Amino acid sequence: MADALRSPSPSAAPSDDACSSSSGGIVTITISHRRHNYTFELPDDATVADLFDDVAATLDIPACNQKMLVPRGPLLKLPPPEQQQQQQPAPLLRDLGLEGKTLTLMGTPAAEVQAVNTMADRVARRNAARAAQRAKARSAAATHHHNKPRPSSSSSTTAADDARYTFLQIRPLAGLPHPERSLALLHRLRDDPGVRAAMRKHRFVVSLLTEMEPLAHTTATHEGTSRTLGLNRNRGEVIELRLRTDAHDGYRDYKTVRRTLCHELAHNVHGPHDRHFWDLCRQIEREVDAADWKSGGRTLDADVSRYALSGQQRAYPVDGDDADDDLHEDEGGWTGGEFVLGGASATAGSSSSGSGSGSGSGSGSGSGEGALSRREILAQAALERQRKETGAERKACDALAKGWRPCQRPDPDETK
């Protein structure tokens, strides 16, 4: 090794004497690395370990990182340390049959390995710092969550009841304009705090809450126009609410629609509009108003339902009122009108639609100072029509007596 001649000068191509033994006992080896050829001259008794040491000293590639490919031969690697320490002699380069072959060296210089290791250490330190920051943030979040007051069992029970006692499906009418607005209104009714409280208390479950087609539930007669506000089919299987105006271009007042929903929820328990039904309906209305913390509403009179019928101020009769006059008039429907602030009663009417119980609104004659029943209002209207008809007949008879015919102009004396 001491007298080895190293000349790592690159050559364009390997020479013919790639591996030969000269008369002076020199072995010449040509090695190709990264498109450059290097010629190494070693003594005649040099071993494979000597070749790897010369390559490490010349190209700065550690011997442990070197591998040499022999054309049509086995991979040439550095012998393990335990084999080098054995007493048996190591094989010589001249005995390996490398004459006329160029060995291809695979290996990375120590400087490049050090650069890669330095970069890996830098990346590892950066990742460790980020992991420490994330762990610190998680610890702070866990501490904050631990210090927060835990929800009580009552609040968790309320959330479970809200998910159970509710409207299972909500569906607007797709054939009407802007169904997304109707869907938003139905969602608002479902999520109303007062409605949720009433549903929880009475354990109401409604399969479908949907929108009512206004024109299909509007009836016009000589007495006025009757509008059904809501329907309850099969005691909570389907509840329909009249959300829109008759022309489909607007929406009814939210609280009016919510009161209609209270009416229809009462039909989940009682079908006919009897004393038990109206007691439950008024109770649900009061509960919805009391639990509506968003609007802070309250009922003006606990004994009077806020459904005002036919423009009057008479509700379902309370104790001591003439109940028999109104009960037989209500046969499954609720004829609504206007609620007069300060009034104490309204008039119940009938408006049946479909197979379910419903609520509606209608227009009637004006209200008097006293509380009039529906029968009295209809009687007054009939008397008024009869008076007008009698007056018209009297005028016609007077005109005929004066010789006036329908084809002639009116009598000047009659027009004065």
The set of catalytic residues is: 264
Return d(Cα 302, Cα 316) in angstroms, integer.
12
- Residues whose CB falls within 8 Å of the CB of residue 356, separated by 6 or more in sequence, listed in order: 231, 232, 233, 234, 238, 267
DSSP 8-class letter at 166: S
CA distance 382 to 367: 16
User: Strands 26-33 and 218-221, how do they pair?
Assistant: unpaired
Q: Which two tokens stand for residue 362?
A: 């209608």
- Say which residue the tokens 């001259």 belong to: 41
Cβ-in-10-Å burial (0-12, 13-18, 19+) of 27 comes to buried
d(CA 415, CA 191): 63
Are 356 and 333 spatial neighbours (Cβ–Cβ below 8 Å)? no
Count other C-beta atoms under 10 Å from residue 259's C-beta: 24
Q: Cα-flanking dihedrals φ and ψ of residue 54, to 5°?
A: -65, -40
Nearest Cα neighbor of 311 from 278, 335, 279 is 335
Which residue type sits at 297? G
The helix or strand, by DSSP H or E, that contains position 233, with its residue range, turns out to be strand 224-233
Are residues 281 and 305 in contact, defined by beta-carbon separation less than 8 angstroms?
yes
